Amino acid sequence: MRLPFIIWESHRPADDTGLWAARLRVFDRVGGLWARGIELHTPNYMRPEAPDVRLQVFLRPWDEAADSFDSNRLRDAVAGLYHEVYHIPPDDPLYQATMDGAVNPRLVPAVEALKEA
């Protein structure tokens, strides 16, 4: 079975830039790229009454070249996360907030996410 990519998401710790930098170095070492321009809005499963959690998306191309992941393809990957992992439909406000904000996403080195903290 082909594996076009591996995708994962992570939140920026509010008060620990060292932890965030360490995560980004790990993502970079394994070939992960940051999907700049996408901020994934997800429920706070630990505290349902709390605001949504904002996550950064990282993608490691596997069977396909990184340049094959244009902005439409990245948006499709995020839509797949919502559908397959989070079970959040397209009419959900979290889905809509993410997609509305993903205007021109592109893959860049993972360590560049440190500059945008």
Angle ∠(91,10,23) on CA atoms, nearest 5: 165
Task: Tell me the C-alpha to C-alpha distance, in Å, between residue 69 and each of 27, 60, 104, 106.
Answer: 17, 10, 12, 8
pLDDT in tens, 17-72: 899 999 999 999 999 999 999 999 999 999 989 999 999 999 999 999 999 999 99
**For residue 14, what pLDDT band results from cuts at 50, 70 and 90?**
confident
- Of 4-8, 56-60, 88-92, which range is least confident? 4-8
Q: Is the pLDDT of residue 2 over 80?
A: yes
HSE-CB at 46 with a 13 A cutoff on CA atoms is 1
Structure tokens at 62: 């596997």
Q: Is the pLDDT of residue 1 over 90?
A: no
Cβ atoms of 9 and 81 within 8 Å: the answer is: yes
Taking the model in full, what pTM does it have? 0.91
Cβ atoms of 55 and 39 within 8 Å: the answer is: yes
* pLDDT score, position 17: 87
When the pLDDT of each residue in the chain is averaged and rounded to a whole number, the result is 94
6 φ, ψ to 5°? -115, 135
Q: Mention every residue, 6+ apart, whose C-beta is less than 8 A from residue 98.
A: 38, 39, 40, 41, 78, 82
